[in-house]
Structure 1
């Protein structure tokens, strides 16, 4: 197996059509360090910026996703680049000239397109998938629109539940929009989404490929779902951002008897179809919630699921939603990472940069 280097987000992504994607403090260096540490513990050769990385120091384990960071990792012998970062058109990875390198992660051009949650949900809905209704709203003209309360107000290029709030009436909506306008944290527009009152689940979708499941090699010809994870203990009807409340405190994988529920099966099939339509190259995470009729609707698709995991000192409660889901098929955190690593893919150089073979 080739040596692996894990990369973190070293700078904020560009503003796209007036919409901002907030920069996460640390740039996912915490989950990057979890990944690198767990891979090394599994016997994988891992390149690190320092010779003897400290398990308690995130930056000892990860490289910045910059031209200098990629060069340093390549010179350290890494030939698999794990892109645990936010990708976009013009990202430094697109200009690499290493024909012998494989990648774990998505294509930058696809991430930038799909990170627009409004357009992605619209595309999925247009293709017949069950998706929550939403409206694109500019901060400057929201009062001219006929918005029905209660509604979910959320960033268009957000991260998980960060910035997501419920506006139960026009008064709350006005106060929320005034706060957004003053901070300009998310840009000049937002999504107003129908409020779904029922149970919430999150579904991790894996790309097509060959996997080892319960001791057997299994070939998946299309995107496939891990068992859903139920979310509970919401705050004001919103699952709290994992940077505030660890998901291990409010999430549990569905048990075998629950997986047979018709509504759950339909949600899993819809998420698998979404993964196939998007031609994913690495895991994605889709949040779903029941409407008043008990049907699960897709409402938030994340091209880069959080991949924190237990292993390093003080990280025992840092399982991610995808890690919790993986336990439903008998995988621990290391098994999930090995499954992701096995799907590493190659890019080829073209006049437009790198493209998948």
Structure 2
């Protein structure tokens, strides 16, 4: 029996954790949610939407709010699968529906809550012998006394960040003091931040898919481990930092590595390291890991994103909106529609699918 799918989007900022705030994306991923729902409907998959006849360009016609009422409204209209195109956390309203047996596409909320904390994630990766940059925790209490065990330039970052929002390349102690003061006074990121050594080498983004059955080149393949899509190189950084995709569409500053680059020992090893990271955080949907080389060409995993952006060129007015994951998928022959249909194949119910 064909699934009846509803896509939900983020409607509120997640609760603070230990005084740390994850800022909300304007629009709460309604745009990518509409891209997903439109793609599914185009593929003759039964999409449940708030509007009976959604307008192609009207994002909110396609997606339900991620509140208990919004999710229940989708189920009342017939949805049996909820696509979690939202930021999850422990206590998110979707949890009671997962407990009740609804199928979902997306991550386990409790796991997202844990691993959205970049310092917790980095510690896990480090303990499993994965390469991460050196960093230092900075709070209101130690902002005047913390010590760097690495030199400038450094990168100042939110602990529960989202993409490049609030990420700054800092060249001097005075500049860092000023930026920290601004970030703390804004209240956008909570009571703690961190500074990380700046890696000046090539940056790539690697999307890691969960285990499951996939259709690639017309053939059904069973992947029994997490596996990587081809890495995507980032370029045209703004002051050393990849710009936010809402400012510069990623198709204008990103490209998939060519075949010879993909076959280098360093890139094969980096993909394997990202796959281990995905296993460690128990991902059940795509995650995106940003990696960068130091001056000696050694690669490091510097940012693991449990909720990668999933915009795509499915609607006619958004032909330049392929996400980094969609760009990577094209290298293995997947259109955005193929990516979305293969993601749907990985839907899961509580206790019905265990991560290997």
Shorter-chain TM-score range: over 0.9
TM-aligned CA distance change 1:277 to 1:13, over 3 Å: same
1:203 matched residue in structure 2:
206
**In the TM superposition, what are the counterparts of 1:112-151 in structure 2 within 5 Å?**
112-147=113-148, 148-151=151-154
Aligned equivalents of 2:97, 2:49: Cα separation in 1: 19
Q: Is residue 316 from structure 1 mapped to residue 319 from structure 2 by the alignment? A: yes
1:338 matched residue in structure 2:
341
Instruction: Tell whether the 8 Å contact from 1:263 to 1:294 is kept in structure 2 after alignment.
Output: no
Instruction: Tell whether the 8 Å contact from 1:35 to 1:337 is kept in structure 2 after alignment.
Output: yes
Instruction: Tell whether the 8 Å contact from 1:345 to 1:356 is kept in structure 2 after alignment.
Output: no
Per-residue CA deviation, residues 167-223 of structure 1 (Å, 9 max, x unaligned), is 111011011011112211111111111110100000000001111111111111110
TM-aligned CA distance change 1:356 to 1:260, over 3 Å: closer
Q: Is residue 230 from structure 1 mapped to residue 233 from structure 2 by the alignment? A: yes
Instruction: Tell whether the 8 Å contact from 1:134 to 1:193 is kept in structure 2 after alignment.
Output: yes
2:11 matched residue in structure 1:
10
Q: Is residue 48 from structure 1 mapped to residue 28 from structure 2 by the alignment? A: no
Measured after TM superposition, the shift of residue 122 of structure 1 is 1.2
Measured after TM superposition, the shift of residue 140 of structure 1 is 3.1
SS of the residue aligned with 1:191? strand
Instruction: Tell whether the 8 Å contact from 2:49 to 2:74 is kept in structure 1 after alignment.
Output: yes
Aligned equivalents of 1:97, 1:91: Cα separation in 2: 10
SS of the residue aligned with 2:189? coil
Per-residue CA deviation, residues 218-251 of structure 1 (Å, 9 max, x unaligned), is 1111100000000000000000011111111100
**In the TM superposition, what are the counterparts of 1:143-292 in structure 2 within 5 Å?**
143-147=144-148, 148-292=151-295
Q: Is residue 87 from structure 1 mapped to residue 119 from structure 2 by the alignment? A: no
SS of the residue aligned with 1:201? strand
Measured after TM superposition, the shift of residue 282 of structure 1 is 0.3
Instruction: Tell whether the 8 Å contact from 1:346 to 1:356 is kept in structure 2 after alignment.
Output: no
Aligned equivalents of 2:262, 2:98: Cα separation in 1: 45
Moved over 6 A (4+): none
Per-residue CA deviation, residues 70-100 of structure 1 (Å, 9 max, x unaligned), is 1110111111100000111111111227745
Instruction: Tell whether the 8 Å contact from 1:139 to 1:190 is kept in structure 2 after alignment.
Output: no
Aligned equivalents of 1:133, 1:287: Cα separation in 2: 15
1:329 matched residue in structure 2:
332
TM-aligned CA distance change 1:294 to 1:17, over 3 Å: same
Root-mean-square deviation (CA), in Å?
Answer: 1.5
Instruction: Tell whether the 8 Å contact from 1:138 to 1:188 is kept in structure 2 after alignment.
Output: yes
Instruction: Tell whether the 8 Å contact from 1:200 to 1:232 is kept in structure 2 after alignment.
Output: yes
Equivalent pairs, count: 352
Deviates further, 75-84 or 141-150: 141-150
Aligned equivalents of 2:98, 2:252: Cα separation in 1: 44
SS of the residue aligned with 1:144? coil
Measured after TM superposition, the shift of residue 313 of structure 1 is 3.4
